[in-house]
Amino acid sequence: MLKDYFKIAWKNLLHRRLRTFLTLIGIFIGIAAVVSLISLAQGFQGYLENEFKSLGADKILISPSGSSMGALSSSNPLTMDDLKVVQKVNGVKETGHYWYKFGQVEWGKKDLVYAGVMAYDLGSGRKLMEEIMTLDVSEGRSLKEADRNSAFIGYDYANNNGFDKNIHPGGKITINGFEFEVVGIAGKIGNPNDDRQIYLTKYGFEKIYGDVGEEINAIFVRVDEGKQPSEVLKSIEKDLRKHRNLKVGQEDFEAQTFEDLIKSFLTILNMVSFVLIGIAAISLVVGGVGIMNTMYTAVVERTKEIGIMKAIGARNSDILSLFLIESGFLGLIGGTLGVLIGIGFAKAVEFIGVNFIGTELLKAAVPIWLVLGALAFAFVLGSISGILPARQASKMSPVDALRAE
């Protein structure tokens, strides 16, 4: 019996191809938008998780409150004295720190970008900092503490075809009007911001931005093996509060484990994703209204057919099931098209990101639950949209239906 319902539904949809297609537009546009957004969000989430896992769970970041990874200026900066306090905390294996600002980078005659300019701990914390920044050398050499007018630059400067001229070791760049010689090129990281980063010694940084004094932008910590980062974090917070004369709840700094950092990133990502998906879902509401309108029209057109079916013994439940399956079928077809289009769009964005923008952040992940969930949702949406027309059809009097012209 169920098989016959699907056959009749399929036959009726094919009989009115143009109307069926127009009805499907709202559904497959909405499903395509939702699938592509979720796919890209899942890919980005996977990228973040892999990046943090590769860095290890034994690290802690300390930055001034209200800053972004310590990059923004703050009225309550961290200082070298804070660093010394952190280094004395039980469970702290090693530390690293850095200074960071934005600068105008020029080279050749036409090329100009605004990029992050960083000077980081090139002493005892060098290994930790370069590990966290996934910094390696693809050309030339890395910076030395003794360097004065040297720069180590991101991968894009030597490999981006969008630039008029690529820079290689021995070339010159100008940062905020000050010239530096390029001694090395970093390996590809995959994030456009990171691949256009400029690295200087502290001397070179102060040459551009002036004396930094005792201030630092942020502190990274590696925890001793066998120690829990969360426990070491509590000790760091306690000692920094004491050093800075602060009470619990009045901290003017933030200390987070890398596990906490990824949770914060994912929380923000999920919030943004929900908002975007909610906007995309508006078209699904429009699609549902379209299905309802189509099914009401189908009921009117097939009034006599309904009367004949009832006259030969069809029950109200049979008529109800027939129209519900037909409306659900509409949703399922629209959902199938939407899933295919959504996956195709997400993969196209990934292709553009990797090949033209040079970033691996725009990865498309298509878990099986996303495909099955989208198809099930589309079928249910179609069925729900068809409830009222189906009830109207099932309650028709066979005598009145047969009289209809």
What residue segments make up the domains of the chain, in order of their start?
Answer: 2-52+268-403, 66-251
Q: Give the count of alpha carbons within 13 A of 351, CB side only.
A: 6
With beta carbons less than 8 A apart as the criterion, state whether 189 and 155 touch.
Answer: yes
CA atoms lying within 13 Å on the CB side of residue 128: 22
Contact in structure between 309 and 319 (CB atoms under 8 Å): yes
Give 253's contacts (C-beta < 8 A, 6+ positions apart). 62, 63, 64, 65, 76, 78, 82, 240, 244
Output the pLDDT for position 327.
Answer: 87
| Segments in the chain below pLDDT 70 | 1-15, 53-54, 67-74, 358, 399-405
What is the model's pLDDT at position 343?
Answer: 95
Specify the residue for token string 């300019």. 117
The pLDDT of residue 267 is: 83
pLDDT on residue 9: 62
Question: Do residues 200 and 98 make contact, with C-beta atoms less than 8 angstroms apart?
Answer: no
Model pLDDT, residue 264:
80
pLDDT of residue 399: 67
Query: Residue 153: what pLDDT?
Result: 97
| pLDDT of res. 67 | 65
How far apart are the C-alpha atoms of 314 and 309, rounded to whole Å? 5
Task: For residue 22, give both structure tokens.
Answer: 């127009």
CB 76 within 8 A of CB 63: no
How far is the C-alpha of 390 from the C-alpha of 324, rounded, in Å? 6
What is the Cα 203 distance to its own chain's centre?
Answer: 37
What is the pLDDT at residue 4? 63
